[in-house]
Amino acid sequence: MGHLGFSYIGFIFLLMLTVPNLIWTKHQPKGYDNQNENKILLVFEKAGQVCVTCTALIFSDFNIHGFSAWSFWLIAAILLMVLYEFWWVRYFKSERTLKDFYSSFFGVPVAGAVLPVAAFFFLGLYGKVIWLIVSVVILGIGHIGIHWQHLKGTQA
């Protein structure tokens, strides 16, 4: 179920997610247009963003609480978030085209969408908090779905 309390790990993950996205608003890819995004996927994405943000912050289960077999999920989540940061570095150093933005990274397709979603999913497994896992699935349907549609549009 989860123990209510502030999660510093959730806060750090959200910072790692938010800071590059704020920088991105000033460095969007050439030709980027989000006007024709699927409205259903957009609802999933926005609802998932709100739920993931709240859930990641209010359950102390995501904080480090000793080493166990479950720690694997936290390590995996951290590694995915680090990869996500490196993906952003690569994007910001690139020509910042649509192809760069929807690129794969270390074999992960549409890495800018998949890596953080997978990281938060693993964080939910680590904390054993079903609310984060469900929130991430909702977010993933919308966020990855939108990015996938954009990627397909760049290949047309």
pLDDT single digits (tens) 58-74: 999 999 989 999 999 99
Q: How many angstroms separate the CA atoms of 144 and 46, rounded?
A: 12
Tokens 């480090």 correspond to what residue? 64
Q: Is the dihedral of CA 139, 10, 70, 116 positive or negative?
A: positive
Nearest-angstrom CA–CA distance, 7 and 26: 30
Whether 51 shows a pLDDT value over 80: the answer reads yes
Predicted confidence (pLDDT) at residue 156 exceeds the cutoff of 70: no
Residue type for position 25: T
What count of other Cβ atoms lies within 10 Å of the Cβ of residue 68?
Answer: 9
Answer whether residue 155 shows pLDDT above 80: no
pTM of the model: 0.95
Give the chain's mean pLDDT: 95
In tens, the pLDDT along 78-127 reads 999 999 999 999 999 999 999 999 999 999 999 999 999 999 999 999 99
Q: Which helix (H) or strand (E) holds 111?
A: helix 111-127
Domain boundaries, the chain: 8-24+36-154
Both tokens assigned to 16: 């790692």
Q: How many whole angstroms separate alpha carbon 80 and alpha carbon 42?
A: 24
Predicted local distance difference test score (pLDDT) of residue 152: 87
Q: How confident is the model at residue 153 (pLDDT cuts 50, 70, 90)?
A: confident
Cα–Cα dist 110/68, whole Å: 32
Nearest to 121 by CA among 102, 146, 138: 138
